[in-house]
Structure 1
């Protein structure tokens, strides 16, 4: 049921790649999904050159015509939702319901930026002289290299593709080698909808080789990455050598401040749902639960009780609420972090062990008694691991939330507007959810501060990243 993948280079499908082949496996049991062609430097260069040719054709279309093609692609995606969700679940591991929701949300992103592209306005600046007109115009930046991760292979791809296309820019997509099928389906839907062939490429292979080639290619004018802070520094430095525009959505370590007046009846089910969705492999996953001492014990007890109710299993099985981690390395990281924390005095409230010996399953895990010398408190776990810290005041809570040099998604649960206003002012984060965990919408900017990157995806800010500004002054003669 998994498709036979082909590289897409300037709209052309290739069943062979210059770098050989790639074996794709199901993270739930290690079984082979397919053998896919693997792109190398040759395909990357060809995709960049095709994008340069496609730029003229795509940008020459009116914003209305571009919008029609994008919306047609969104409708095609919606019709494919069930099949696409199964492909995503097979290659990434997440439950079908989550995969289907992500796919449909990605279609909504495409719809939204189809219309946002029609609202790319310049402006008239009042002149100082009666015979001078001053205009500010917006133009597409040009071909884009989009590097996307494996944890949300549809949403993170579309966060880059949709605003780029809406602005009039062609895109070369380099998806993670663990999950190329989802991005491939997106590329196919766009081509089916009428996107000019040279305006889209989807290639995968050795990350360092493809990224190095695309970033250095003179045809590429903009680089967008979702990845770790370490990789972000490398990519930003490479792009900076050529003064190329970049958007970086990098790592986080989601702090959740739980004040003494938090409504636990409201919080507990949400905490379990959002902490363990996608097996915790979410850049804005709530991770450090910073809990006021007066409600700490009750919170931990109820949080653990609710987490034990989760049904863990293969993503394609009915009723599964949490699937496996996507890779052996991810599983190993979580296991090492739990061992380190327990060895330094943390208490396992629930979970704490691998499930079986087939696939990359790990129990939904909650640790209490966390201290700042523990590995998981300083490096993003990116797995089904919740860390609980007891604090005695809001001052302590803010100090812990701001301790790390990252700031992507953070959360606050309180019944006090005074507390909410203070946290909004003092918490160093790109996004804050107050009494809920939902942050990503097509119409809102998504991005972080400090080591969590720069620039925003989503919202009107998202399309600005794919535009350049031209000032035109005209003397009437």
Structure 2
């Protein structure tokens, strides 16, 4: 395979020297890659001038729909990717994590975009800030897409997921991307990327691909651009220290080395479900992807009294692990990604061995099924024992990026937390415990050092996703040694590719900017009840003012007895008057909601298909018998759901006879198009 890059709308073959890429299983050359001939300046310009405007012209929902379409397209064609994935040393289950996991990430961000972001071009961040007494001058934080390009520099271990988990939030934000995969497994990335281009789902310039070196790409970037890197701490340091990136304030996100830990809680004794789950998880994290996961368990922290039991249990399961050709059905662990990776893992394991004892796995004597161990990048799982984790230094400072992990004992929970924190920042730490006090103590003691804390016990059971599974819903990243970056995390990940801007102005201007009605801005009065108007006909700011209704004591008592809500504030005058919040007996808040609906609802069949909820409900002032209420109902925001109906968010304000606001909430309805 002579791999090609995709630049400025066309596939480009290398024009000069290329780098050979070998199969992780056989060691034979299977591809060659090179980026000579690429015009990096043109690639950046193409992203900014072609891809960026096309993406920003769409709303968040339109981009989310395209993510869903792309996920469906790849999902129907993923079988051909599995065949290539075997060449990287990945088993079928490893490939599912990479390929299906990447496609699943597209689906999740599509759903997040449609459910949690507006069908608009501006993302509203937080509530309106009143900046004047009269309400004529307000503040609002909004987020808009950066007008540059995102450069994604990905690692070798997840050639599909690594690309898609970065692309999903980037494209949803409205920012084009240039993808640079690690060369060792770039043939799998290129195959997936070809499918993405062939789909024609995203507009031209939305994403480009570099197979090979990046040349002078970084020197072309500016303050509207982002570099997102996954790989070693050494490479991350080189990139983040680039003078051009520093001088131009280029955003830099890093996800790098991580000495992740797993703690066996003091309550999880041998024979308990927590102990058994802990052992299974450690073995899985050592062998899945041959330990080539940034989230894999590198340090196994257990009570002093259970060290031997843990070593015996883990060793027993590792002894049953079949190492071999990943394409064979019975293989449990495949090869490392390359011969270079094998050499690095063995060198790092030797460093750990200088202060720890290897208790399982001999790299000079192990069996490989269906392949030649000498030609492929195979190593056995290696388990070490650290007798004195307090005196050890290299064990807490050296990551062997493969099936290598170290068991160490702790005296008490505080000691376990201190050992975990010796990693100087990680992507994830897990704790196997059923004791809530243990979980709380670990969060308070270790939360600042870990990007994610995963708690597992018999209650989470099979539904738990596992220590080493970054989920698109949750933040992926960590402090310190882990790089200080942050990816995914739902909408949080999208905002990394946007600029948060504080806007200040009148209610009318804020309404226009955010495409959501702001109290105090212009109301649109119509001759037709808004419930009689279709989704397409309704306008932001369209308002109905209702007639008034008096609240009587009979109303309050009838509601109390009919619903069973006979709380004293509604039924006992003396007790209510003694309450500092009430002047005496008052109407139920839910009675006010019911009467408010009766005032504004149009009862006949029409475009309103369903009322499916309320948001931000507040009761602001008590209503006494004899008071009257009226309602202002305003179209606040519109969100298209499909070709047949859309969501209308109504701003509802309830006032008394003195024009004092007594209640407010957002009403959500589904309206026909």
Structure 2 length-normalised TM? 0.66
Residue 126 of structure 1: how far off its partner (Å): 3.1
From 434, 437, 441, give the equivalent of 2:471: 441
> SS at 1:455's partner residue?
coil
Residue 133 of structure 1: how far off its partner (Å): 4.7
Residue 415 of structure 1: how far off its partner (Å): 2.7
Segments of 5+ residues of structure 1 without an aligned counterpart are: none
Q: Please tell me whether residue 105 in structure 1 is matched to residue 101 in structure 2.
A: yes
Residue 439 of structure 1: how far off its partner (Å): 3.9
Q: Quote the residue 1:320 is aligned against.
A: 331
- Sort the Cα spacing of 1:341 and 1:137 in 2 relative to 1 into closer, same or farther, 3 A: closer
> SS at 1:256's partner residue?
strand
Q: Quote the residue 2:178 is aligned against.
A: 172
Q: Please tell me whether residue 139 in structure 1 is matched to residue 144 in structure 2.
A: yes
- Sort the Cα spacing of 1:100 and 1:115 in 2 relative to 1 into closer, same or farther, 3 A: same
Q: Quote the residue 2:231 is aligned against.
A: 227
Residue 393 of structure 1: how far off its partner (Å): 2.0
CA contact (8 A) 2:256 2:481 kept: yes
Question: Which 10-residue stretch deviates more, 297-306 or 384-393?
Answer: 384-393
CA contact (8 A) 2:264 2:275 kept: no
Q: Quote the residue 1:47 is aligned against.
A: 43
Residue 4 of structure 1: how far off its partner (Å): 5.2
- Sort the Cα spacing of 1:442 and 1:404 in 2 relative to 1 into closer, same or farther, 3 A: closer
- Sort the Cα spacing of 1:95 and 1:236 in 2 relative to 1 into closer, same or farther, 3 A: same
CA contact (8 A) 1:228 1:251 kept: yes
Residue 354 of structure 1: how far off its partner (Å): 6.1
Q: Please tell me whether residue 388 in structure 1 is matched to residue 384 in structure 2.
A: no
- Sort the Cα spacing of 1:351 and 1:261 in 2 relative to 1 into closer, same or farther, 3 A: farther
Q: Quote the residue 1:364 is aligned against.
A: 381
Q: Quote the residue 1:197 is aligned against.
A: 204
- Sort the Cα spacing of 1:392 and 1:195 in 2 relative to 1 into closer, same or farther, 3 A: same
- Sort the Cα spacing of 1:30 and 1:376 in 2 relative to 1 into closer, same or farther, 3 A: farther
Residue 374 of structure 1: how far off its partner (Å): 6.3
What's the CA shift string for 1:31-65, capped at 9, x where partnerless? Answer: 121234x1147432222121112111121123232
Segments of 5+ residues of structure 2 without an aligned counterpart are: 269-273, 367-372, 457-465, 510-673
Q: Quote the residue 1:348 is aligned against.
A: 359
- Please give the residue correspondences for 1:234-383 in structure 2 after superposition, counting only pairs within 5 Å: 234-238=238-242, 239-262=245-268, 263-344=274-355, 346-353=357-364, 355=366, 356-371=373-388, 372-373=391-392, 375-383=394-402
- Please give the residue correspondences for 1:435-474 in structure 2 after superposition, counting only pairs within 5 Å: 435=456, 436-458=466-488, 459-474=490-505
Distance between the aligned counterparts of 1:456 and 1:374, measured in 2?
27
Aligned-residue RMSD, C-alpha: 2.3
Q: Please tell me whether residue 70 in structure 1 is matched to residue 67 in structure 2.
A: yes
Residue 181 of structure 1: how far off its partner (Å): 2.3
CA contact (8 A) 2:286 2:297 kept: yes
Q: Please tell me whether residue 122 in structure 1 is matched to residue 124 in structure 2.
A: yes
Distance between the aligned counterparts of 2:74 and 2:425, measured in 1?
34
Q: Quote the residue 1:416 is aligned against.
A: 435
Distance between the aligned counterparts of 1:465 and 1:61, measured in 2?
19
What's the CA shift string for 1:435-463, capped at 9, x where partnerless? Answer: 25144111111110122122321122111
CA contact (8 A) 2:25 2:377 kept: yes
> SS at 1:286's partner residue?
coil
> SS at 2:364's partner residue?
coil
Residue 217 of structure 1: how far off its partner (Å): 3.1
Distance between the aligned counterparts of 1:4 and 1:437, measured in 2?
37
Distance between the aligned counterparts of 1:145 and 1:345, measured in 2?
40
Distance between the aligned counterparts of 1:125 and 1:88, measured in 2?
52
Residue 342 of structure 1: how far off its partner (Å): 4.1
Distance between the aligned counterparts of 2:280 and 2:295, measured in 1?
18
What's the CA shift string for 1:74-129, capped at 9, x where partnerless? Answer: 01111122211222231x21112211232111112112222334416315433415
Q: Please tell me whether residue 162 in structure 1 is matched to residue 153 in structure 2.
A: no
Flag as ranges the 4+ runs of structure 1 deviating above 6 A: none
- Sort the Cα spacing of 1:415 and 1:388 in 2 relative to 1 into closer, same or farther, 3 A: same
Residue 151 of structure 1: how far off its partner (Å): 0.8
What's the CA shift string for 1:159-210, capped at 9, x where partnerless? Answer: 211100000000000110111123223433332142122121111213xx43
Distance between the aligned counterparts of 2:375 and 2:157, measured in 1?
20
CA contact (8 A) 1:19 1:205 kept: no
Residue 259 of structure 1: how far off its partner (Å): 2.6
- Sort the Cα spacing of 1:19 and 1:50 in 2 relative to 1 into closer, same or farther, 3 A: farther
Distance between the aligned counterparts of 2:71 and 2:149, measured in 1?
22
> SS at 1:469's partner residue?
strand
- Please give the residue correspondences for 1:60-99 in structure 2 after superposition, counting only pairs within 5 Å: 60-90=57-87, 92-99=88-95
> SS at 2:31's partner residue?
strand
- Sort the Cα spacing of 1:411 and 1:216 in 2 relative to 1 into closer, same or farther, 3 A: same
- Sort the Cα spacing of 1:4 and 1:194 in 2 relative to 1 into closer, same or farther, 3 A: farther
Q: Quote the residue 1:432 is aligned against.
A: 453
- Sort the Cα spacing of 1:415 and 1:346 in 2 relative to 1 into closer, same or farther, 3 A: same
**Number of aligned pairs?**
469
- More helix, by proportion: 1
- Sort the Cα spacing of 1:34 and 1:333 in 2 relative to 1 into closer, same or farther, 3 A: closer
What's the CA shift string for 1:361-394, capped at 9, x where partnerless? Answer: 0111111235554644421111111211122222
CA contact (8 A) 1:249 1:455 kept: yes
Distance between the aligned counterparts of 1:374 and 1:218, measured in 2?
40
Distance between the aligned counterparts of 1:315 and 1:268, measured in 2?
23
Distance between the aligned counterparts of 2:4 and 2:356, measured in 1?
50
